[in-house]
Amino acid sequence: MLEVLKIKIQEYLNKRVNEEMNLSLSLVVENPKDKTKGDIAIPSFQLSKILHKSPMEIAPLIKNYLEELDYFEKIECVGPYVNAFYSREKLIKLILDNVDSIKEKNDPKGVILIDYSSPNIAKNFSIGHLRSTILGQSIGNIFEYLNYKVVRINHLGDFGTQFGKLIYAYLNWGDKEKVMENPISELVSLYVKFHEEAEKDPSLDDKAREIFNELEEGNPKYRALWSSFKDASLKEFKRIYDLLGVTFDEYSSEASASRDSNRVLSLLDKKNLLEIDNGATIIRIGDDIPPAIVKRSDGATLYITRDLEEIHRRYDKYHFDQMLYCVGNEQKLYFNQLKRVLKRMDAPFKDSVTHVNFGLILTGGKKMSTRHGNAIGLNEVLNESIRLAKEHIQEKNDSLDDKDEIAKNVGVSAIIFNDLKNYHENDYEFNLEDATRFEGQTGPYLQYTSVRISSILKQSDFDKDNISFELLSKDDFFEIVKKLDEFDVILEKCKEEYAPNYLAKYLLQLASLFNSFYSKEKCLVDDIIERNTKLYLIYLIKSRLDLGMKLLGMKLVDKM
């Protein structure tokens, strides 16, 4: 609102100046660093140069135009500047109406595809996949809130020669029951066993390759096995998604992209981009970057071939305005190659692709890994967080009845918030104890603040049409009103930079403003108007906190 208002004022000023003096200027309204100088300031240099008058002579002219608007309490000319102070009461009314209004849904502003999570079948769901899941989910929520159509895609890594090895290992040493019970850890150990055996007997590698080729050609027995591995893995991944509350609109598959890849390969061929190099098919994309290999000498497709095919399929289906890939920093070069190939192809969507890259999660300065040979590592992290949350809840409020459910929501949200409060491109150090604390820069702190507000609101009704704007104009109150107003600007910034951390930081500031407000001000006072005013204000804080947490992908709790 404040920003919006500033722009409105700027537009008004330019319209007036230009029409009266027959100019086409664009005067700029500034935000003075020193707030005692005014809420906005307009320098008069630009106009003074054109009119050949001193800035001091021009300032009063500008002041006159501003006076035509009724937003201000005071407008001063200070040397070459015009400084204006908003009338707090008018401003507050504008802001609160805006914060409390329901956003109308217009036609979507665009179609945003987000490729996130995207784990590999029969392998661990790594910490990196977790970070991708959390980040992609939140970016999707933010775009959706800002009225975009969002399509969430989970691109499964279900292709590769390792499936030949896996099938061989399963047929020779596998135990169906065990695999069904604990698919990922069993499949990972079968894979490990294959490598041990192949050390002793290298002919196994040829056998595995043969199986893989037959799998690609559609051997029904192999396909059935591959597909059962895929189902079993997905079942395990879905446990994590359920815990996080994540769903997808579509699952895509590297294997099917590989099967369809002749389409994109012939497109590339038509554009004369393919070259044979040592038997492999490559595309040169510049001297500063290695060429993209799209076909190996044995004819097999590569990761990039499958992504190239898949993005064409996605464009045909959705005509997206943006295609976002939430994948770790280690694939930076790869996504540069992908974008270069799309440029060389002159694909209609060549400028709409973004790699939303993210850093590592560290413990003790080293890359955190859940590699115990299975996916349990990650579940362990989540479960440990839930356990710690439960401990904290017991300390605070042992009489709650649905502690387990609350602990689950608090523990999982703690991990989500702990991740999103960090700027995604950076690495960060993971400390579960810190993440689950009820005080400090944590998810539980936000949830706890929201619960505190609920419990105040439960004690009394309020009438929001009977409040005091004079009271809201007092510094402590006004501070909060301005913070509430920032919400929209913050979300735009999150959207522009694909960076939910700005929202996370904002929520922390809002929560701490509430907490210091509440330590000074009693809300349930006898004076009706004062009570209405205070309760309405904290009600608005809670609604912003709750909305913000939801956009981050956190769970709301009503007790804790």
Q: Under the rule (CB under 6 A), what is the footprint of ligand ARG? A: 115, 118-120, 155, 157, 307, 325, 327
For residue 263, give the amino acid letter: R
CA dihedral of residues 40, 45, 50, 56 (deg, nearest 10)? 90
Shortest Å distance, C-beta 193 to ligand ARG? 23
Q: Which DSSP state fits 329?
A: G
Instruction: Enumerate residues 6+ apart whose C-beta is below 8 A from 394.
Output: 403
Cα–Cα dist 218/473, whole Å: 72
Pairing of strands 322-328, 353-358: parallel
Q: Which one, 155 or 392, has the nearer CB to ligand ARG?
A: 155
Task: Return left, alpha or beta for 499; rule: phi > 0 is left, psi -120 to 50 is alpha, else beta.
Answer: beta
Distance set, CA 152 to CA 184, 227, 246, 251, 324 (Å): 24, 23, 10, 9, 10
Three-state SS for 77-125 is EECCEEEEEECHHHHHHHHHHHHHCCCCCCCCCCEEEEECCCCECCCCC
Q: Least distance to ligand ARG from the beta carbon of 471, Å?
A: 53
Whose Cβ is closer to ligand ARG: residue 44's or residue 133's? 133
Shortest CB 25 distance to ligand ARG, Å: 48
Closest listed residue to residue 549, CA positions, set 510, 512, 503: 503
Which residue, chain included where needed, has tokens 């099967």?
259
Nearer to ligand ARG, 265 or 538 (CB): 265
By C-beta, is 160 or 443 nearer to ligand ARG?
160
> Considering the complex, what minimum distance in angstroms separates the CB of residue 155 from ligand ARG?
4
For residues 556 and 447, is the Cβ–Cβ distance under 8 A?
Answer: yes
CB of 301 to ligand ARG, least distance (A): 13
Nearer to ligand ARG, 213 or 331 (CB): 331
**Smaller CB separation from ligand ARG, 153 or 513:** 153
| Minimal distance, residue 117 CB to ligand ARG, in Å | 9
**Closer residue to ligand ARG, CB minimum distance, 337 or 418:** 337
Measured from the CB of residue 115, what is the shortest distance to ligand ARG in angstroms?
5
When the beta carbons of 65 and 303 are compared against ligand ARG, the nearer one is 303
Residues contacting 362, CB < 8 A, separation 6+: 368, 427, 428, 429, 430
> Smallest distance from the beta carbon of 182 to ligand ARG, in angstroms?
21
Lookup result for tokens 């959706």: 144
